[in-house]
Every structure is written in structure tokens, then in C-alpha cells.
Structure 1
């Protein structure tokens, strides 16, 4: 089991998407999506801009990995397709990609498209260029605005800046996971920190 830790630059309910009883990571973080395996954990911490630098926004325990086409076509995940005139949760749906017959990927009107709904090539290339994998979890805790303060003794698990961390000693990881999983709260707990 590996723990992948990173900073959530924009906590909008898009990446990760904690809605509809599944936490999904289908955009951003291509290196984590490319390398994570079943049974791994992913955790995201806050940033200075929302006063959440040493706070846990969410964690997920990966129990399913699919590609973009499977995610798009699976009826279980239809509600994760964005509806740009819907609720905040609907607007931040992350089920936005599927392959095109001639190559490349369709990008739905979404948080990662341009303001007028047209595809955003930079976001599309970053999301699809290295991997087509979508990480899914039924066992997760998304704290959002009720983010948990991470004790000073676990500061080494907080990634600073871009990228991610996933190299920890077995003893330190076991100690941290004991803290992480001690809170019984699960699922969607509070709205994203960057929602007004």
C-alpha cells in the first residue's frame, strides 16, 4: 500500500469529485493517476490561499480504476458528468472525457473547458496526455470546509508546492494511517473550501 500526498490548488469539488457516494480523481494529478494501484490511498491538503495549508481536505482508498471511456459509458457514473446550469456539485462533475474515433479526446463543457464551453487544449492535454486512468473510491472522507488539522508530528506527510509525495518509511506510514483512519467520519462531509 502506498500513500500519495499532494496539495489541492483549487478545491472546487472537481478534482477530487466527492459527490454521488464515490470519490473520483479523473482530472489533474496525472502522475498519481498513472502510478496508483488498487489499495493505495490518496490524500489532498489545503493551500495558504484558503488558510488550509496544514489541513487535510480529503483522503480516498482506491478500490477501482477505469479508463476515460469506461467512466464515460458506465451508468453508475452518469451523474458525475457536468451540468453547467445545475447545482454547484453538478457544475463540477469530472466525467468529462472520452476517446474520439480519429484519435484524441472529447472534452465536455466543464470546469476544465473554456468559459464559452469550448475545449481547453492545455487542460485536456494535461489531463489525458500521460494517462487515461480514473481513480475511484467508496471508502473516503471529504472534509472540505471542515478540513482536519494535521498534527505537527505528521508535517512530513504534507507536500509543499506542485507534484506529490509517496515515499515514507513503513513505521511512519503506519503511525500516520492510524491517525488518518481514527476519525470515523466517511463520505462527503462538507462543501469544498473554495465554494463561496
Structure 2
């Protein structure tokens, strides 16, 4: 079991997207999504970066259970709930299912949080996102958002201190101990709202059921 760890500088519920019953990582973190060593059963986690705050706190953890293409994601009815609705709720606005291949073979970016303000394609986001190649899905996930818990001191080796992500450098015994700590203290699912939603100055939304 590998564990991929990185720091988040913003959290809008887009990457990862924890809504509608399963977690998806479809945009951003392209180096992880296209990593040739990534396999089913690996874990991806993120802690808070300097811009976001929440240092040494766990924003989310997901066990990779499916690895699919953008077209599989777009064309499968089950995943239609993740297609952005630009006039909908914040959870709908930040849907991450918006890339697919057109008849002529070009990649389409549908209107989304990664589009330009007028909803035309943002080529910079498009290039970065689609370099990731794959969409990662999980039903075994823990999303804490603004209720992110402190990671115990003896597990701090899982925290990525670089700009990219950490994987092989994390000792196996620490990886296993982290998963044991996570599963013995928290139930899978959503435990908080996306941290960056506070920028909208809205009342607490409480999109979660249980904030253990």
C-alpha cells in the first residue's frame, strides 16, 4: 500500500469532490493521478498548506477504489451527479465532471469552476487537469474540511513538507499506523464543509451528517 501525501492551498470541494456519496479526484494533482505506480488500494491524503492554514491537520483521506478515464467519468450515468450546475448550490457548482472527448478527438472543457468567468474554456486549467489522465474514485473516504483534526505527533512523517507530494519516503509502518488511527477514530464520509467556502461569507452550511 502506497500513501500519497500533499498540502492544499485552497479547498472548495472541487479537488477532491466529496459530494453525492463518493469522493472523486478528477482535476488538479495531475502527477498523482497519472502516476504509473498508483494502484487500487493506495491512499491519498492532504493536509493544510500555509495559504489555507490548518497546518498539521488532515483535510481528507481517500482509499483509491477506481481509476477511470475522463470519458468513462463523463459517459457513465452514475457519475452525472458530479457534472457542474453553474446556477446550482455550491456543491453543484464545484462538480468536477467536465472533461470529455468530442467527435473530432479534441478535449472539451464544459462550463465549470475551472472555466473562464464567461464560461469559455480556460486553456491553462484544461492543459494541467487533463495531463492527469485519470479520475480517481472512492467510497472509502474521510473528508474533514473545516473540521480538520490534528494529526498525532507520532504520525507527522506522513505530512508532505515539499511542494509536490510524498510517497516512497513515508515509512511503511507509519503508513499503516496512520490508516489504523484514521479508521479507529472516525467514520467514513463527510465531517465538515470545504474550508474555502468561508470566503463566500455565508452561514455555516453543514453539508455533513457527523462531525466526530
TM-score (norm 2): 0.88
2:202 corresponding residue in structure 1: none
2:149 corresponding residue in structure 1: 148
1:186 corresponding residue in structure 2: 188
Indicate yes or no: 2:33 matched with 1:50.
Answer: no
1:10 corresponding residue in structure 2: 10
Please, which moves more after superposition, 160-169 or 23-32?
A: 160-169
Report the alpha carbon displacement of residue 161 of structure 1 after superposing the two structures with TM. Answer: 4.3
Q: Distance in 1 between matches of 2:149 and 2:15?
A: 18
Report the alpha carbon displacement of residue 146 of structure 1 after superposing the two structures with TM. Answer: 0.5
- Determine if contact 2:10/2:52 at 8 Å carries over to the other structure: no
Report the alpha carbon displacement of residue 194 of structure 1 after superposing the two structures with TM. Answer: 0.7
Deviations 1:58-116 (A, max 9, x none): 10111111100010011111010001110000000000100122233100111111111
Unaligned 5+ segments in structure 2 are 199-212
1:24 corresponding residue in structure 2: 24
- Determine if contact 2:9/2:50 at 8 Å carries over to the other structure: no
1:96 corresponding residue in structure 2: 98
Higher relative contact order (CA 8 A, sep 6+): 1
Alignment of structure 1 residues 9-158 onto 2, 5 Å: 9-35=9-35, 36-129=38-131, 131-158=132-159
- How many pairs were matched up? 195
TM-score (norm 1): 0.95
Secondary structure of 1:149's counterpart equals coil
